[in-house]
Amino acid sequence: MAALIPALHPATIAPAGRLTDYLDVARDAGFKAADFAMPAALELATTSGPEGVAAAFASRGLAAGGWGAGVRLTGPDSDAVAALAKLPRMAEIAAAARASAALLVVPNRTELTPADAWRQFAERTVQVADVLANWGLTVGLEFIGPNLWPALPHLLFNDIRGTLELADRTGRANVGVLFDTYHFHCGASRIEDIRAATGRITHVHLNDAPPGDPRTFDDSMRRLPGEGVIDLARVVRELEAVGYRGPAGVEIFNPELKALSAAQGAARVAAACRTAFGAL
C-alpha cells in the first residue's frame, strides 16, 4: 500500500449484522479497507475457516485493518489467562486475512502503583506479542489521551513517548504504537513526537476533536475527520513520513451516527473522509 488509507470502523456505525454484511456496507460506501470486530470474524470462521474470512475481505476488494486482541492490561490474572487462550485462533484468522495489527489499550490511570503498572503491562504485552509473533503479526499499544478514569489514583502516561518506552520494556520487535488522532490531541504528545515512532506505528485511528480544553474531553466528543480542530492533514503527513502505510480506521463514538442505518452511517463517514483527505 502506498499510503495511509481511511478505513471503516465497526464501532462508528450501527451494527451491520454478520461480518459479511459489515464488509458489504464498507464496500458500498467506497472504502478500500475496514477495521473489524474479531468476534464477527470468529463466527464466520466456524463455518468457513480462516480462509473464508480472508475471502470475505478479498472478494469485496477490502484490506483487513485493525482488530482487538481481547486482552486487558489491567484486571485479574485469571481474566488475562482466559483471554490469551483464545488468542491463537484469533491470530490464525487475522494472519489469513492479512490483518497484521492487533490492539491493546493502555489505560492512562490505574489502581496499580506506577511501578506495578509498568511491570504488569509489559508482561501481558509480551504474552500477547509472543503468540502473535508465531503468525507474523504485530501489537499496537493504544495510549489514551483524555482522562477517562478520573477516580483512579495513579497517572501513568498519555502520550507517544510513554508508549514507546512501554514497547521498549517488552523487548519484542513486533510491539509498536497504535496512533489515535483524538488521543494524540487530548494527551501530552506534540507533533514532533511522531518522528520518535519512525517505523513503529502499527495501526492508526482517524478522528477529529471539537474546540475547547482537551483536558475536559471524554470519548463521546470525537468528531468525524474534517469536522473539528485537529490539523489532520499535517498529522497524516507525519505518519506517512515515519513509514506508516495501510488502513486507518475512522473510530467515532457518536450517537447520531449510530442512530442511522449502518449503510447511511458508513456513507456519512466516507463523505467526511473524501472531504478531509481528498479520496478514500
- pLDDT, tens digit, 9 for 90 and up, residues 95-147: 999 998 999 999 999 999 999 999 999 999 999 999 999 999 999 999 999 99
Cell 496512533 identifies what position? 179
Percent of the chain scoring above 70 in pLDDT:
99
pLDDT exceeds cutoff 80 at 2: no
Answer whether 143's CB lies under 8 Å from 105's CB.
no
Average pLDDT for the chain: 97
pLDDT exceeds cutoff 80 at 240: yes
Residue ranges of domains in the chain: 4-277
DSSP 39-90: HHHHHHHHHHHHHHHHHHHHTTT-EE--EE----SSS-HHHHHHHHHHHHHH
CA nearest to 164, candidates 133, 200, 116: 200
Fold of 4-277: TIM Barrel (3.20.20)
Answer whether 56's CB lies under 8 Å from 20's CB.
yes
Per-residue pLDDT tens over the stretch 64-81: 999 999 999 999 999 999
Cell 506505528 identifies what position? 201
pLDDT exceeds cutoff 50 at 156: yes
Q: Residues with Cβ < 8 Å from 27, sequence gap 6 or more?
A: 60, 61, 62
Separation between Cα atoms, residue 149 and residue 154, nearest integer Å? 10
Structure confidence at residue 279 as a pLDDT band (50, 70, 90): confident
How far is CA 26 from each of CA 100, 244, 250, 271, rounded to the nearest angstrom?
A: 19, 22, 12, 12
Percent of the chain scoring above 90 in pLDDT:
97
CA nearest to 63, candidates 130, 11, 7: 7
Separation between Cα atoms, residue 40 and residue 163, nearest integer Å? 29
pLDDT at 1 (0 to 100): 44
The distance from CA 212 to its chain's CA centroid, rounded to whole angstroms, is 25
3-state secondary structure of 229: coil
